[in-house]
Amino acid sequence: MRRHVPTYELYGENTGRGPDFWLHCETIRSRSSLHQWEIRLHRHESFFQILYIESGSGDAIFGDESHAIRPPAIITVPPGLNHGFRFSRDIDGLVITILRSHLSHPLGDRSQLGEWLTTPHLTSLDPGNAAAAYVMQTLRRLGDEFENRRSGRNEMLGAYVALALRLTARISHQGNSDELASNENDRRLEMLDELLQQHFRSHKPASFYARELGISPTHLTRIVRTMTGSTPHELIAGKLIEEAKRQLVFTLGSVQEIGFRLGFADPAYFSRFFLKYTGETPRVWRMKEKIRLEGA
């Protein structure tokens, strides 16, 4: 049996008349404290809501999904969505309820912001980020403007709502872009590792791997530095050193033979290469490692 989800103007209120306001603002504490800090699943047919979570914690429920709230954060709830909240007793922040017809950007607009307004979002705010700090300041000003009936109040409230929504949408999209970029970088790093495994003995340059990945050498360097802190050249060298060490310990081949197997035509160059990255020649490193393993 499907449970009934009530429709309210403001939570717990249903006068049966049309709304007598276009924007309402109150603290989250003022209403949630009346309901044991839980706002049960409900919806608003004519209203869009913005919740600014300044401190405290809780969960936001969108339909059947629950999302942890970590302040500071902005929650946006479009009309018609079944939603609810569970708040900690130290919750602090604002809930702003806006008549959908008064949004400066109409719902259903096919622009990026219009599409963003039609789905629920929980957007984390980094106070160290200038745009996020400005959103927080704007919503505090909105709360102050709503409470104090000064001249030009409606115009100021409309401007604050439009600014807060546009900046929050930008922050949200940027966060999604960063996540997508991170996932793409993870994928490329995995592909690079596979390519290195196939070709490291051929001493291919970084430009070869960039070409195989379909990106520029500069882009490859940026990805590798971001993900590993190293350069592509250092990764290639690291793969050679790793294999050299393995063969020095687990095979009976001479240093010269191991160098040849790893693509070094000049044994002296192999020794210099190994010394550069380990601080020891292959022969010294092999001797010390065997002594260490025998004593283990």
Q: What is the mean pLDDT of residues 6-30?
A: 73
What's the pLDDT tens digit per position in 60-74?
999 888 889 999 999
CA–CA distances in Å: residue 166 to residues 114, 116, 173, 206:
10, 10, 11, 42
Judge whether 255 and 286 are in contact, CB under 8 Å: yes
Taking the C-alpha atoms of residue 9 and residue 19, their distance in angstroms, rounded to an integer, is 7
Residue 285 neighbours by CB under 8 Å, 6+ apart: 245, 248, 274, 278
Task: State which amino acid sits at residue 100.
Answer: R
Write down the pLDDT at residue 8: 61
Q: Is the pLDDT of residue 109 over 60?
A: yes
- Going across the sheet that includes 58-62, the strands are 38-42, 83-87, 58-62, 65-69
Q: What is the mean pLDDT of residues 23-37?
A: 94
Share of the chain above pLDDT 90, in %: 62
Average pLDDT, the chain: 87
Write down the pLDDT at residue 267: 93
Reported confidence tier of residue 180, pLDDT bands at 50, 70, 90: low
Model-level pTM greater than 0.75?
Answer: no
Taking the C-alpha atoms of residue 196 and residue 185, their distance in angstroms, rounded to an integer, is 16
What's the pLDDT tens digit per position in 120-138?
999 999 888 899 999 999 9
CA–CA distances in Å: residue 233 to residues 9, 103, 212, 230, 236:
62, 53, 15, 8, 5
Which domains, ranges and CATH numbers included, belong to the chain? 23-180 (2.60.120.10), 234-295 (1.10.10.60)
Taking the C-alpha atoms of residue 116 and residue 173, their distance in angstroms, rounded to an integer, is 9
Taking the C-alpha atoms of residue 161 and residue 247, their distance in angstroms, rounded to an integer, is 66
Taking the C-alpha atoms of residue 185 and residue 115, their distance in angstroms, rounded to an integer, is 27
Higher pLDDT, residue 32 or 116: 32
Reported confidence tier of residue 1, pLDDT bands at 50, 70, 90: very low
Q: Is the preceding omega at residue 232 within 30 degrees of 0, hence cis?
A: no
Higher pLDDT, residue 203 or 296: 203
Q: What is the mean pLDDT of residues 173-193?
A: 74
